């Protein structure tokens, strides 16, 4: 499994789908394909994973995504905080998402609200 | 919540296959057009509905390069037995164990009788980009997409589904109310050498095809092709048998009727077949050929009666580029 080293996720990070990634969605799930790798296989994101993917609009930062999911699934923010951050880090390690406005991996280490995870 | 490898639904697979092929081509400077399927829906030429495969049209001179690139991603060619054909083979079908859909890589499209490279260049000059699945694909413009779709439907004149699709395409083109598009369709047919295949379609749009645009050889080939290819290769084998000397007829007939064990094995995914299975497959093939033969003979006689030029069987010409 392809994984790259990435810096910790910040609450202030704003995310976009990586440019070489194709994805399609329906009511139940999102299927993602990394077009840049010969050995890539399609990955399915379901439930909250699908909701997070669809929230990566280049506008909402990590904190806003957590707030949005907290409201959508009616669960306390504290219960999903870690899960969302871990998921974003995993997507980034797989090269499926990028930081908005940051060209090249780990080009900067921006400050943010709250703790780094 | 972490993503996991997935069993793709057909719609997901076809969508992603179009984007995948487009991306591979772009990364390697290969000209490629997505055709049929979602591109027709995007142009409003048919409803968005179920698709069984992803069709792409690749620059004929780069066919081998493109197939090799997809081979590197795990897509392999479905075996197809070398056979007689009325019109030359036109596509490679690629399959992948993790994907439910095929990718049909065309390097020419039956019904365009101009040289494959000229046809591709003509369609490429009409390309446009379409966003799809968070990426983009390149497809022919509306007129060229309609022209390709018409040829596809016209290949199966006795299929009720294709008849309905043809009627729907015609209705939608007329509903556009744009004579420039219809005139453009006629020009495209003439440049691509398709008036003989598309004559009825063009006339149903109110277009008059100049007599000089027709070619009797193309008309005869197209008629023989569409009237026989849905029944398999019987018509093409009969043509081939008619075109060889008496000494060659028996070996040719043998080759037509009795595929070798190696060919049968390849056609069954490389799995060895028992003697019984091989015999049943061969008998079934002969029965099918015998059933199709009377109609094929009638078609070939009718071509002769109508004074059309003789039609010759074609050998596979793929990978010429």
Residues from B contacting A (CB-CB < 8 Å) are 1-6, 8-9, 11-12, 15-16, 19-20, 23-24, 72-73, 98, 132-135
Nearest-CA residue of chain B relative to A37? B73
Q: Strands A97-99, B32-35: parallel, antiparallel or unpaired by DSSP?
A: unpaired
Q: Which parts of B109-203 are beta strand (E)? A: 127-132, 135-140
pLDDT-derived band at B213, boundaries 50, 70, 90: confident
What pLDDT band is residue A53 in, cutting at 50, 70 and 90? Answer: very high
Band (A115; pLDDT cuts 50, 70, 90): very low
Mean pLDDT for the stretch of residues B253-275: 75
Could you tell me how many CB contacts below 8 A there are between chain A and chain B? 72
CA distance A41 to chain B (A): 6
Nearest to B19 among A17, A22, A90 (CB): A22
Whether the predicted interface score ipTM is above 0.85: no
The tens digit of pLDDT for each residue in B50-76 reads: 788 999 999 999 999 999 999 999 999
What pLDDT sits at residue B3? 58
Instruction: Find the mean pLDDT for residues A32-47.
Output: 92
Contact check, Cβ <8 Å, B16/A31 = yes
Burial degree of B287 (CB within 10 A; 0-12, 13-18, 19+): exposed
Please judge whether B19 and A35 are an interchain contact, meaning their C-beta atoms are less than 8 angstroms apart. Answer: yes
Dump pLDDT digits (tens) for A60-93: 999 999 999 999 999 999 999 999 999 999 999 9
Distance of CA B185 to the CA centre of its chain: 20
Mean pLDDT of B205-223: 84
The rounded mean pLDDT for chain B is: 86
pLDDT for the residue numbered A85: 93
Distance from C-alpha of A93 to C-alpha of A90, rounded to nearest angstrom: 5
Task: Show the DSSP H helices in chain A as ranges.
Answer: 48-55, 62-72, 77-93
Tell me the pLDDT band of B320, cut-offs 50, 70 and 90: very low
Rounded Cα distance between B253 and A19, Å, is 55
Contact B20 A49 (CB under 8 A): no
pLDDT at B36 over 60: yes
Per-residue confidence at A114, pLDDT binned at 50, 70, 90? very low
Looking at residue A108, its pLDDT comes to 38
Q: In which residue are the tokens 């030429």 written?
A: B45
- Over residues B210-237, the mean pLDDT reads 78
pTM (predicted TM-score): 0.82
Q: Could you please state the CATH topology (level 3) that the domain comprising A15-99 is classified under.
A: Arc Repressor Mutant, subunit A (1.10.10)
Task: Compute the distance between CA of residue A98 and CA of residue A13 in angstroms, rounded to an integer.
Answer: 10
pLDDT exceeds cutoff 70 at B43: yes
Bridge partners of residue B93, in order along the sequence: B104
Q: What pairing do the DSSP bridges indicate for beta strands B99-106 and B53-58?
A: parallel
Between B208 and A5, whose confidence is greater? B208
Taking CA–CA distances from A80, the nearest residue in chain B reads B1
**Which one is predicted more confidently, B321 or B286?**
B286
Give dist(CA B266, CA A110) in Å, integer.
57
Q: What pLDDT is stored for residue A7 in this prediction?
A: 73
A35 to chain B: which residues are within 8 Å by CB?
Answer: 19-20, 23-24, 135
Nearest residue of A to residue B137 by CA position? A22
Instruction: Pull the structure tokens for residue B25.
Output: 């081509």
**Alpha carbon distance A114, A70 (integer Å):** 17
On the question of pLDDT at B132 being above 80, the answer is yes
Q: CB-side exposure of A25: number of CA atoms within 13 Å?
A: 14
CB B156 within 8 A of CB B162: yes
Predicted local confidence at residue A116, as pLDDT: 35
Instruction: State whether B16 and A38 contact (CB < 8 Å).
Output: no
Reported as half-sphere exposure (CB side, CA atoms, 13 A), residue B57 has a value of 26
Q: Which chain A residues have any C-beta within 8 angstroms of a chain B C-beta?
A: 17, 20-24, 26, 31-33, 35, 38-39, 41-45, 47-49, 52, 83, 87, 90-91, 94, 96
| pLDDT for the residue B1 | 53
Residues B216, B207 contacting (CB under 8 angstroms): no
Q: Does the structure show a pLDDT above 90 at B258? A: no
- Looking at chain B, the whole-number percentage of residues with pLDDT higher than 70 is 91
State yes or no: pLDDT of B285 exceeds 70. yes
CA distance B137 to chain A (A): 11
| Residues in chain A within 8 Å Cβ distance of B73 | 38-39
Q: Is B254 exposed, middle or buried (0-12, 13-18, 19+ CB in 10 A)?
A: exposed
Q: What is the mean pLDDT of residues B87-98?
A: 88
Nearest CA in chain B to A48: B1
Name which residue leads in pLDDT, B70 or B301: B70
pLDDT recorded at residue A1: 56
Contact call for A43 and B6, based on CB within 8 A: yes
Residues of chain B contacting residue A18, judged by C-beta atoms under 8 Å apart: none
pLDDT average, residue stretch B292-296: 75
């Amino acid at each position: 499994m392809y994984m790259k080293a990435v810096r910790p996720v910040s609450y202030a990070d704003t995310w976009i789908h990586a440019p070489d990634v194709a994805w399609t969605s329906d009511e139940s799930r999102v299927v993602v394909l990394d077009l840049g790798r010969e050995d890539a296989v399609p990955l399915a994101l379901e439930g909250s994973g699908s909701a997070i993917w669809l929230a990566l609009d280049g506008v909402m930062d990590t904190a806003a995504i957590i707030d949005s999911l907290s409201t959508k699934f009616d669960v306390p923010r504290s219960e999903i905080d870690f899960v969302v951050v871990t998921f974003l880090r995993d997507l980034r390690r797989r090269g499926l998402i990028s930081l908005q406005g940051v060209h090249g991996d780990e080009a900067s280490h921006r400050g943010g609200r709250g703790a780094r995870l | 919540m972490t993503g996991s490898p997935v069993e793709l639904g057909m719609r997901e697979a076809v969508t992603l296959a179009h984007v995948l092929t487009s991306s591979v081509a772009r990364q390697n400077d290969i000209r490629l057009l997505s055709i049929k399927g979602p591109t027709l829906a995007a142009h409003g030429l048919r409803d968005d509905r179920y698709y069984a495969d992803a069709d792409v049209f690749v620059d004929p001179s780069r066919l081998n390069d493109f197939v090799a690139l997809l081979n590197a991603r795990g897509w392999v060619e479905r075996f197809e037995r070398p056979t007689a054909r009325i019109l030359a083979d036109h596509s490679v079908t690629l399959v992948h164990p993790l994907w439910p859909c095929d990718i049909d890589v065309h390097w020419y499209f039956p019904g365009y009788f101009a040289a494959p490279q000229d046809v591709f260049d003509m369609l490429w000059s009409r390309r446009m980009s379409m966003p799809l699945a968070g990426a983009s694909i390149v497809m022919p413009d509306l007129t060229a997409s309609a022209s390709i779709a018409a040829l596809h439907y016209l290949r199966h004149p006795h299929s009720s589904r294709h008849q309905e699709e043809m009627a729907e395409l015609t209705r939608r083109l007329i509903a556009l109310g744009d004579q420039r598009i219809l005139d453009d369709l006629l020009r495209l047919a003439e440049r691509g050498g398709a008036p003989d295949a598309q004559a009825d379609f063009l006339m149903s749009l109110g277009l008059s095809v100049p007599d000089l645009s027709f070619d009797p050889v193309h008309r005869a080939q197209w008629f023989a092709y569409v009237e026989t290819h849905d029944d398999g290769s019987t018509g093409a084998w009969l043509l081939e048998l008619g075109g060889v000397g008496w000494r060659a007829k028996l070996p040719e007939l043998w080759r037509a009727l009795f595929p070798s064990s190696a060919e049968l094995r390849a056609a069954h995914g490389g799995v060895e077949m028992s003697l019984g299975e091989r015999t049943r497959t061969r008998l079934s093939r002969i029965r099918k050929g015998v059933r199709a033969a009377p109609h094929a003979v009638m078609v070939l006689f009718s071509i002769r009666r109508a004074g059309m030029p003789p039609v010759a069987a074609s050998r596979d010409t793929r990978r010429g580029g």
